[in-house]
Amino acid sequence: MSGKEHFDLIVRNASIIDGTRAPRYRGDIGVCSGKITQIGALDKATADTDVDASGLIAAPGFIDAHTHDDRLLLSAPDMTPKVSQGVTTVVTGNCGISLAHLPAPQHGAITPPLDLLDGDGGWFKFPSFRAYRETLEAQPAAINAACLVGHTTFRVATMDRLDRAATPAEIAKMRGMAHESLAAGAIGVSTGTAYPAAAMAPTGELIEVSRPLTEFNGLYVTHMRNEDDYVTESIEETCLIGRTLKVPVVISHHKTVGTRNHGRSVETLKLIEQRMHEQPVGLDCYPYIASSTVLRYDRIEQSSRIIITWSKPHPEFSGVDLDEVARRLQLSRAEAVEKIKPAGAIYFMLDEQDVQRILAFEETMIGSDGLPHDAKPHPRLWGTFPRVLGHYSRELQLFPLETAVYKMTGLTAKKFGLRGRGVLQEGAHADITIFDADTVLDAADFQHSTRPATGIATVIVNGAIVWRDGKPTGARPGRVLQRSA
Ligand code: ZN
Ligand code: CU
């Protein structure tokens, strides 16, 4: 090593976990022009910016495999709920809903679950994926985005009513939207057939709308039709679509819902593993026993407890248990649900053993499924990644720290085709998260659902520091990422 080297930035004295599951090692990381140009002993080299990582871990920036951050990237570009956890890339447009491709702002009642992105409809103003992408690139966020486009959004943009299958003409129109989006850099199509807005779409509609994925080798990503009694049938439907289109599939927020399906992750993971021998399959998971989405009566009997996260007519019930809402309104639970809709809720309906089994499965990625616009959101929005590192890896020792990091970096970059991300290697993009392995932990809970996590020291995106000393720096180096298959 010559003594003359100079870098834009050097992370010094780090314990490096490189995102490949390799054991950690000591080293310095040299960054130039947004990329990692050297890893080794750089004590003779100088830099414009020095980051001391003594006693800390340096890992690839975390990739949130499952988000609904389409709007947050534009409306709150510091992305604090994510950056504070060490996340440097978000996958947007999940569960069938994306801001693009709706021709004009929506007025009146927004079709659920599109109201998870925007309850008022003013943000549905991107007539194409290109329009969304250009807006985001013109006013970048602090972190990177890899974007899916949603089949349910296409349906809302195309069909006069959603309680039926699409006609061949409507399918052709939606296929055109998928094609336009993929050509403009979307990485895949998501579906959400679990929701009424897309539940009447038969498998054939999903295949024909998603057909352009084959040409672009895009991803088929799905909130499956069913995650309770028919969860294995849904896995088979997902895999059939992937085989028919010859593209990789990702099963979103994998879980087995409802008491009588507790324990069935043994069966579902076995099935997924089998299919993985035959075709590319991915899956993600959030580290909680409670789920969250729009308020729906049919979820109630499957849940031991329900907390309201937002309500348009009754915002005062945000954070209140449904039982308490019913008591205060002197209504039955069913009547209370009707009274406070449109609304969102947290449902306690999963089993801790299933959550741990799915998290520990070799191929499971970490995705928050956080809902950034809920008045009182599920704590997964602010806590997912530190919870996996601190609670599941350090405290419960479900897997080593190197594995935990892999599930949120190298594995995710591989499954989503994000080349040069998710690893700390020479030549990779300089997305780096520096954290304290002894203290990293989620602080958000169901009471204090937006409390930032502890132990995340410094977060670097494309070579620029975006998080330091417990706050955002204001830098906005985020990019829209392409999929390289
Ligand atoms: Zn979902
Ligand atoms: Cu989701």
C-beta of residue 260 within 8 angstroms of C-beta of residue 302 = no
Ligand 2 centroid to residue 208 C-alpha, Å = 22
Q: Report the separation in Å between the CA atom of 252 and the middle of ligand 2, taken as the mean of its atom positions.
A: 7
**Distance from Cα 293 to the centre of ligand 2, integer Å:** 8
pLDDT value at residue 107: 82
* Protein residues within 5 Å, CB atom, of ion ligand 1: 95, 223
- How far apart (Å, rounded) are the C-alpha atoms in residues 149 and 93? 5
Please classify residue 6 by burial: count the beta carbons closer than 10 Å to its beta carbon, then call 0-12 exposed, 13-18 middle and 19+ buried.
exposed
Quick one: pLDDT at residue 106?
Answer: 83
How many whole angstroms from 374 Cα to the centroid of ligand 1? 15
Q: Nearest-CA neighbor of 73 among 149, 8, 133, 24? A: 133
Token pair in block for residue 141: 């966020």
Centre of ligand 1 to C-alpha 219, Å, is 16
- Nearest of 129, 142, 365, 334 to residue 253 by alpha carbon: 365
CA of 53 to the centre of ligand 2 (A): 34
Nearest ligand, CA 68: 2
Q: Tell me which H or E stretch contains 230.
A: none
Which of 370, 361, 477 is CA-nearest to residue 411? 361
364 contacts 295 by C-beta, under 8 angstroms: no
Give, in degrees to the nearest 5, the angle at Cα 392 between 391 and 397.
110
Q: What is the pLDDT of residue 4?
A: 67
Q: How far does residue 223's CA lie from ligand 2's centre (Å)?
A: 7
CA–centroid distance, 410 to ligand 1, in Å, is: 23
This prediction has a pTM of: 0.98
Nearest ligand atom owner, CA of 224? 1
Return residue ranges of the chain for CATH 3.20.20.140.
61-294+347-415
Q: What is the CATH number of domain 61-294+347-415?
A: 3.20.20.140
- Sequence-ordered list of residues with C-beta below 8 angstroms from that of 330, at least 6 positions apart, any chain: none
Q: Are 220 and 241 in contact (CB under 8 A)?
A: yes
Residue 48: closest CA among 26, 27, 32: 32
pLDDT recorded at residue 147: 98
Tell me if the domain spanning 295-346 has CATH number 3.30.1490.130: yes
Distance 302 CA to ligand 1 centre (A): 17
Q: Which two tokens stand for residue 216?
A: 């672009």
pLDDT of 105 reads: 84
Cα separation values, 457 from 40, 129, 202, 435, Å: 21, 35, 47, 5
State the ligand closest to the CA atom of 148. Answer: 2
Rounded distance from Cα 369 to ligand 2 centre (Å): 5
Percent of the chain that is helix, strand, coil (3-state, to 5):
30, 25, 45
| C-alpha of residue 46 to centroid of ligand 2, in Å | 44
Q: Specify the pairing of strand 35-40 against strand 25-32.
A: antiparallel
What's the gap in Å between 368 CA and the centre of ligand 1?
A: 11
Tell me the pairing of strands 456-461 and 464-468. antiparallel
SS3 240: helix
Nearest Cα to Cα of residue 65 among 90, 87, 95: 90
The alpha carbon of 179 and the centre of ligand 2 are apart by a number of angstroms equal to: 23
Q: What number of helices (H) and strands (E) belong to the chain?
A: 16, 20
Measured in Å, residue 476 CA sits from the centre of ligand 2 at 25
Q: How far apart are CA 181 and CA 206, in angstroms?
A: 16
- What b/e readout covers 16-27, taking b as 16+ CB neighbours within 10 angstroms? bbbbbbeebeeb
Spacing, Cα 20 to ligand 1 middle (Å): 28
Residue 68 Cα to ligand 2 midpoint, Å, equals 6
Q: How far apart are CA 374 and CA 60, in angstroms?
A: 29
Query: How many beta carbons lie within 10 A of that of residue 335, not counting itself?
Result: 12
Nearest to 74 by CA among 100, 102, 95: 100
For 86-136, give the DSSP string.
TEEEEEES-TT--STT-SS---SSPPTTGGGT-SSSTT---SSHHHHHHHH
On whether the CB atoms of residues 156 and 189 are closer than 8 A, the answer is: no
Closest Cα to residue 405, out of 371, 428, 437?
437
- Structure confidence at residue 199 (pLDDT): 98
How close is the Cα of 26 to the center of ligand 2, in Å? 37
Q: Start-end ranges of CATH 3.30.1490.130 in the chain?
A: 295-346
Cα(445)–Cα(391) distance, integer angstroms: 13
Counting as low any pLDDT under 50, the low residues of the chain are 1-3
Query: Among all ligands shown, which has an atom nearest to the Cα of 195?
Result: 1
Pull the structure tokens for residue 17: 């976990």
pLDDT tens digits for range 286-308 = 999 999 999 998 888 899 999 99
Taking the centre of ligand 2 as the mean of its atom positions, its distance from the CA of residue 51, in whole angstroms, is 35
CA of 33 to the centre of ligand 2 (A): 34
